[in-house]
Structure 1
Amino acid sequence: MSSEGFQYRALYDYKKEREEDIELRVGDMLVVSKGALLALGCPVGTEERPSEIGWLPGFNETTQEKGDFPGTYVAFVGRKRMSPPTPKPRPPRPPSAASSRGDSECEVGCVLPDLPDQFSPPETAPLLLSKLMDALESKGTTWPSAPPGPTAAQFTRPYPEQLEVASLCDGVVRFFQELPGPVVPPALQMEMVNAVKEVKELEDCAQVLRGVTSSPACPAQHGLTLLSLVRHLARLCLQSARNQLSPRSLAEGFSPLLFRTSSAATCSEAPDALVQALEVLITSELNMNQAAPALPPKPAKPLTPVPSIFNNSTALQDSEWYWGDISREEVNEKLRDTMHGDYTLTLRKGGNNKLIKIFHRDGKYGFSDPLTFSSVVELINHYRHESLAQYNPKLDVKLLYPVSKHQQDQVVKEDSIEAVGKKLHEYHLQYQEKNREYDRLYEEYTRTSQEIQMKRTAIEAFNETIKIFEEQCQTQERFSKEYIERFRREGNDKEIQRIMGNYDKLKSRISEIVDSKRHLEVELKKQAADYREIDKKMNSIKPDLIQLRKTRDQYLMWLTQKGVRQRKLNEWLGLKNDTTEDEYSMLEDEDDLPHHDECLWRLGNINRIQAETLLRGKRDGTFLVRDSSKPGCYACSVVVEGEVKHCVINKTHTGYGFAEPYNLYASLKELVLHYQHASLVQHNDSLNVTLSYPVYGPQRR
Structure 2
Amino acid sequence: MASQGLLEQVWYWGDVDKSVVSRALADQPEGAFIVRNASTIGDYTLSVKYQGQVKLVKIVVRGNRCGFSIDSLVHETVVQLIEFHRNVSLLVYNDQLDVKLTYPVPTRRNSQNGRLAAKKTQMSTKSILDAKDSEDWDERLGLESLRIAQMSVERAARLFDLAHQEVERAENLFHERVKQCRDYEMKLEKLGDLHDVEENINKTIPRLEGNYSFRQAMKGNQKVLEDGMQKIRLDLAACQEQRKRISDLVDELKVDSVHAKNRVIASHETRNKVYGNLASKGIPQEKLQTTMNATGELILNEPLRVSQLLCDLPLRWVPGQYLVYSTSKEDAATALLAARERMYEIDKKMGIIRPPIDGVFLIRPSSSQPDKLVLSVLYGERISHCLIEQSEQGWGFEHSNIYLTTIGDFVRYYAHTTLETHNDQIKTTLAMPAFPPPPDAVLENLPKPPAGTTNANTSTTTSCTTTTANTPLTTSTTSTACSSTTASIATIASISTTPNSTAPASPTPEEEDDDEDEEDEEEDESALASASSTTSLSELASPSEEFIPPS
- Judge same fold: TM > 0.5, yes or no: no
Structure possessing the higher relative contact order (Cα contacts under 8 Å, 6 or more residues apart): 2
TM-score of the pair, normalised by structure 1: 0.25
